[in-house]
Chain A
Amino acid sequence: MSIDHTHFSPVTSLAGGALIGFAVSLLALGLGRIAGISGMLAAALRPDRSSRSWQLAFCAGLLASPWLWQAFRPLPAIQAQASWERWLLAGLLVGYGARLAGGCTSGHGVCGLSRGSPRSLLATASFMLTGFLVVWLDRHGLRVPRS
């Protein structure tokens, strides 16, 4: 294992993380809510919920964020190449899994962990585990070395 020094960005990643934490704090102190994005998105799209306006507003803020960013500086490079089958399969797994686990990277990984929740720790450890495993299989595991 070696550190990828050309891509590793300790300062901006820490600062970006702190900004995410600030957004989480604002929602909790201002509205009394946890910033769990999969839950908000699911709630925003449920037709039978009467009070889903704040969830929609949060999602709209996320959608608008690259637009605001671009008003000041160019967006960072995006590397995201995959077949349409892979996008669909990945989205399906993420969607179903997030609902089953009751949260995703934001709800469990950030909010839950920062409250010291054992439930969130279990969910986060589980998605980290298969995340690492799938990438390893994808990039190295299925490639048989020939000598």
Chain B
Amino acid sequence: MKILVAGLSGLLFGLGLILAGMSNPGKVIGFLDPGGAWDPSLALVMLGAIAVSAIGLGLAGRRRVSWTGQPVHLPPRRPLQNRLWRGGMLFGAGWGLVGLCPGPDLVLIGTGHTGAMLFGLAMLAGFQLHDRPWRRPSRATLHD
């Protein structure tokens, strides 16, 4: 049941990205380039996603267990940290270079796009470089 819910959620997430045009890196770059002819679509994707998520996450936040009986794991409030902006700035630089982030990358890999596969391999290397599983037991961060 867990697998079914997660798989369906991933499938719908991917279809949403495709419908929104976000599986096309060129469209993301079009948003990140107000200096050219600007395509504001990404802002509307965020708006639509945030509006609906706010309801779902708000409802989930009031529950102790989910529909499948799994405990509800929403990240607690924590103070701001430097790693948030440092990591964000590195992430944004890579995002701007090609117009891809992890979700759309998986969708593009699903279409058999070679560049997206290269990006994906390097992204996994980036994960490992940060997590360094060979050095210490990995500490899973829930909020990501």
Interface residues of A in 116-147 (CB under 8 A from B): 117-119, 122-136, 138-140
Complex interface: chain B residues within 8 A of A97 (CB): 87-94, 126
Q: Are A42 and B21 in contact (CB under 8 A)?
A: no
Q: Are A15 and B113 in contact (CB under 8 A)?
A: no
Minimum C-beta distance from A116 to chain B (A): 8
- Please list the 4 inter-chain residue pairs (A to B) with the smallest Cβ-Cβ separation, ordered nearest first: A25-B56, A95-B126, A61-B10, A65-B14
Interface residues of B in 54-73 (CB under 8 A from A): 54-61, 63, 65-68, 70-73
Q: Known contacts being A24-B56, A119-B80, A127-B92, is A93 close to B126, with CB within 8 Å?
A: yes
Q: Are B41 and A13 in contact (CB under 8 A)?
A: yes
* CB-contact partner of A111 in B47, B53, B119, under 8 A: B53
Q: How many A-B residue pairs have CB under 8 A?
A: 545
Residue ID in chain B nearest A115 by CB atoms: B57
Q: Point out residues on A near B: beta carbons under 8 Å.
A: 1-4, 7-10, 12-39, 41-43, 45-49, 53-55, 57-69, 75-82, 84, 86-115, 117-119, 122-136, 138-140
Q: Are A62 and B96 in contact (CB under 8 A)?
A: no
Q: Are B5 and A138 in contact (CB under 8 A)?
A: no
Residue of B36, B102, B127, B131 contacting most chain A CB atoms (<10 Å): B102
A64 to B9 alpha-carbon distance, docked (Å): 12
Complex interface: chain A residues within 8 A of B138 (CB): 46, 48-49
* CB-contact partner of A96 in B16, B70, B129, under 8 A: B129
The interface size of chain B toward A, counting residues with CB under 8 Å, comes to 124
* CB-contact partner of A34 in B17, B35, B75, B116, under 8 A: B75
A-B residue pairs in contact (CB < 8 Å), sample of 22: A2-B37, A16-B19, A18-B48, A20-B20, A21-B49, A21-B56, A27-B9, A28-B72, A35-B9, A58-B9, A62-B14, A62-B107, A65-B110, A66-B14, A69-B18, A78-B24, A90-B98, A97-B87, A97-B89, A99-B144, A119-B143, A127-B95
Minimum C-beta distance from A56 to chain B (A): 8
Minimum C-beta distance from B48 to chain A (A): 3
Complex interface: chain A residues within 8 A of B49 (CB): 17-18, 20-21, 24, 110, 114
Complex interface: chain A residues within 8 A of B135 (CB): none
Q: Are A101 and B84 in contact (CB under 8 A)?
A: yes
Q: Are B94 and A69 in contact (CB under 8 A)?
A: no
